[in-house]
Structure 1
Amino acid sequence: MGIKDFSLLFTVCFVWGLNIVITRWVVFDAAVPPIFFAAIRFLGVAVLLIPFLRPIPEDIKTLFLISFFIGAGHFALLFVGLANAEASAASVVSQLAVPFSTLMSMAFLGETIGWRRGIGIMLAFAGVLLIAVDPASFTVSFGLLYIAGAAFIGSVGGILMKRMKPVSAMQMQVWIALFSFAPLFVVSAFLEQGQWTTYVAGGWLVWVATAFAVVGVSIFGHGAFYHLIKKYDISLLSPLTLMTPIWGVVLSIVLLNDAITPQLILGAVVSLGGVLVIALRPNRTMPEASMGEKIGSGGS
Structure 2
Amino acid sequence: MATERRRDWLRYRSSGPGLDWAEAAFVRHRFSPHRHDTYAIGVTTRGVQAFTYRGAARASLVGDAFFLHPDELHDGGPGGEEGLGYRILYIDPALIGAALGGGPLPFVADPVARAREIAAAVDAVFPHPEDPREELREADAICALAAVLAKTAGCPAGPPVAPDPALKQVHDQLTDRCAEGISTSELEGLYGRDRFTLARQFRRIYGVSPSRFVTLRRLDRARRAIADGTPLAEVALAAGFADQAHLTRQFRAAYGTTPGRWRSLLRAA
Higher strand fraction (1 or 2): 2
TM-score range, shorter chain: under 0.3
TM-score, length-scaled by structure 2: 0.24
Structure whose alpha-carbon radius of gyration is higher: 2
Higher helix fraction (1 or 2): 1
